[in-house]
Amino acid sequence: MAMGFFSLALFLFLSVDSDSGYTSASAAAASGKEGVEITYGSAMKLMHEKTKFRLHSHDVPYGSGSGQQSVTAFPGVVDSNSYWIVKPVPGTTAKQGDAVMSGATIRLQHMKTRKWLHSHLHASPISGNLEVSCFGDDSNSDTGDHWKLIIEGSGKTWKQDQRVRLQHIDTSGYLHSHDKKYQRIAGGQQEVCGIREKRADNVWLAAEGVYLPVNESSSK
């Protein structure tokens, strides 16, 4: 029953049209719009630039390290486990519908399990870099869930298809993936980890999603 309700909710969420005030990636492309701004409260997929895999999580714990919910990069486009909601960190003035600015500290909440994209000093399972996991819930979050948005280039606000890096506040590791793949539980999916050096493998782009319209006050 719970899964059926979620599937229906996701269908309705992703089927909203332009009259609802939401902007979907596909609707923007069809209308010729470019550079849809990413706003707090939007649900989207993050695409790894080099491999085109999507940032992904599921209710499967790591068998080593922290034992927290695993995070991978997934090869397919159509999968509800690849949606993330952009949220501000507690104690800021940012609110739903505000544009996300370069240099902002943000959180990404996994839409299906409600856990936060997280990192710490545990070793990642394949490469031994910084482990990236999902942790907490709607009422349980800490600084291990905080990521700094860094826009590559001259842009000041985060836009769809814009090259960005996410740097973990506590460890300074960049959100990273590569062609090292899991063989069993998450067969065919890539490892996601944190690496402290800037590399071509830690660039991401906002891809498919449903984006809340920008508050007029935040765009001035």
Range of the domain at 128: 39-210
Note if the pTM is more than 0.75: yes
Which of 1-5, 70-74, 126-130, 164-168 has the weakest average pLDDT?
1-5
Q: Does residue 29 form part of some domain?
A: no
Q: Does residue 52 form part of some domain?
A: yes
Q: Does residue 141 form part of some domain?
A: yes
Q: Does residue 80 form part of some domain?
A: yes
Residue in the structure block whose two tokens are 């869930």: 145
> Tens digit of pLDDT for each residue in 164-206?
999 999 999 999 999 888 877 667 899 999 999 999 999 999 9
CATH number at residue 75: 2.80.10.50
Q: Is the pLDDT of residue 116 over 50?
A: yes
Q: Does residue 6 form part of some domain?
A: no
Q: Does residue 13 form part of some domain?
A: no
Please state the domain count of the chain: 1
